[in-house]
Amino acid sequence: MNNNYWLDLCFDMVKEFIPKGFDAYNQDYSIRKSFEEIALHSIAVTDCYADYYHSLYHKKETAYVLYCIGIGCFSINNFVLASESYGKGLSLLNENNIGSIHDLMQIFNNTGALFYKTGDFVKSIKYYTMAVDSCKKVFGEHHPAVATAYNNIALVYREQGHYDLALKSFQEALLIEKFCSETEVLSTAAIYNNMATVLKELGKFEEALNFFRQATEIQENLLSAEHPTTALSYNNIGVVFQMQSHYKDAMNYLFKALTIQEKRLGAEHLDTATTYNNIALMYEKIGDYNQALNYIEKAISIRERLLGEGHYLSAQTYNDLAGVYFSMGNYPQALSYYFKAMKIQENHFEGGHPATAKTYNDIAVVYEMQGEYAKSLEFCLKALAIQEKILGDEHPITAITYNNIALSYKMQGNYEAALEYNNKAMLAQEKALGTENPTTAMTYNNIAVIYSEIGNTDLALDYCLKALAIQESVLGDEHSDTAATYCNLADVYKARGDYEIALNYFRKDVAVCEKVLGTNHPDTATAYNNLAFMYYELSDSGLAVQYFRKALEILEKVLGRNHPHTVTIRNNITEAERLIAT
């Protein structure tokens, strides 16, 4: 049999499996592995074919087969094979000057998507920009394909933390969409959704909700309120409500999405798994860890079955499961799942990826909580090396690592180094997010804590009040982040000897925690404990014991009788009761 026969056979096999490749994201793991085997064989065959035949026709045919293989490999998230296929196909077209603008446009676009997925944002922008130029040559300035290309560029800018550039590119896409169609179309809804995600990162929650709702309205009109695509928008709205501490509204939208997905897609679909995961994180936020574990284990089961344990999306779920165990104070179990996620990410993303850096950061926080500050700093610096290389030193995510490094130095008593890194975080956040952002406010809080600990209560008070002004304006006075600032303010006023003001802020902290998180949440227990200590220092041992007991009741129920935090509260009660007895 000649090579032409093998190329035809290879092409037929690829054509048969490409639809399965696209669906393999939600299909059985064995289908994905079958496609990978066919892709590997096909690449080898096309290499032989390209060497054997020298006509431009045959070379173009080979390039097309490679392009199709790349599409299939990308759809099953095998980025190594996709990159190899696109690269070989593009080389054949360029070396022989046989690619039409239309051919190149498609390859540029898909290669940009490939680099986006693998975290190489600089190359992604490069290829997406080439796709925009090709689109304009093929279709003209005003065409939906050009809008899509601008949308893709905006998504990369979003990941890079260039939010102003992202919004500008989304606006370009939106203007073209509206020029091309007098009525709103589904692609317009997609742009609204994407713009909303940027506004959410900027802490502009009401504007984000407005765009998510516009997207939802289009989807409800053109698809239906029960369509899986509409469900994704409900999911997005739920996440924003969670960030606002509007947990009841968040739950309503998340379960609304879940009901649709379970009915239309089934309980074993990856989109359903994503909603299970979001619901788990919601339950973690309100301190219902049993429900959190229940839903996250459902998500893990689906992703492992459909994608395999070694898939990077499975790693993301292991990371979230580790986070639940961390919140429960089960640090060994948390580390076990963080390391499981880390190994997958290190294998999957060569040269580092923001997702791997996040896991390094999460591991660092666990070590910090265990008092292993050297290990904590080691993982923070590993995260920082990736983030500064890929995202830059002014990205909001890099700023998170600066804050974590600062915390590690603070716990070791190196306040000068801690302030240096907190200030780096603050400058990055102020530039990327603005000075009225809740995330920036949290860094102001961190700086306040350090100033308080080194005895500079004037500066501590300034930064606390700066944080509080932002939080009460953007989040409202009934948000868990605002409650944390009330607590910090109470500590500062206590350090200044203003006990009545301190007591008032400790009470406000308790009130918000009770209302927002409920009376069975560990953070509420912490608020009770802080208020109890204030009463203890005011020599009101009776009220101190009362609030210590309220804290103890929560921690015994949520964390268990033998958890270190529970034991500490029990010891506090013993000491307070001893004072009452004397």
Q: SS3 sequence, 109-146?
A: HHHHHHHHHHCCHHHHHHHHHHHHHHHHHHHCCCCHHH
User: Which residues lie below 8 Å from residue 529, measured CB to CB, with a gap of 6+?
Assistant: 547, 548, 551, 569, 572
Give pLDDT, residue 276.
97
Contact 247, 241 (CB under 8 A): yes
Helix (H, G, I), strand (E, B) or coil at 412: coil
HSE-up of residue 119 (Cα within 13 Å, Cβ side)? 21
- Cα 208 to its chain centre, rounded Å, is 16
Helices within 454-518 (DSSP H only): 457-474, 480-495, 499-516
Q: What is the dihedral of CA 163, 471, 190, 156, to 10 degrees?
A: 20
Give pLDDT, residue 111.
84
Give pLDDT, residue 51.
53
Q: In the chain, what is the straight-line distance between the N-terminal and C-terminal CA atoms, in Å?
A: 100
Q: What is the secondary structure of 56-88 as a DSSP string?
A: HHHHHHHHHHHHHHHHHHHHTT-HHHHHHHHHH
- pTM of the shown model: 0.79
Give pLDDT, residue 281.
94
What Rg, from alpha-carbon coordinates, does the chain have? 27
Rounded Cα distance between 275 and 235, Å, is 7
Give pLDDT, residue 9.
55
- Measured in degrees and rounded to the nearest 5, phi and psi for residue 99 equal -85, 130
- Cα 290 to its chain centre, rounded Å, is 23
Residue 173 CB burial class (10 angstroms; 0-12, 13-18, ≥19): buried
Helices within 244-311 (DSSP H only): 247-264, 270-285, 289-307
Of 47, 145, 30, nearest in space to 89 by CA: 47
Identify the segments of the chain with pLDDT beneath 70: 1-65, 67, 71-72, 75-77, 92-103, 581-582
Cα separation values, 301 from 267, 268, 314, Å: 11, 9, 9
Contact 341, 365 (CB under 8 A): no
Give pLDDT, residue 119.
76
Q: At which residue do the structure tokens 């490999």 appear?
A: 73
User: How many other C-beta atoms are found inside a 10 Å radius of the C-beta of residue 211?
Assistant: 23
User: Which residues lie below 8 Å from residue 50, measured CB to CB, with a gap of 6+?
Assistant: 58, 59, 62, 92
Give pLDDT, residue 514.
94
Sign of CA dihedral 348, 352, 356, 360: positive
Q: At which residue do the structure tokens 């997702």 appear?
A: 355
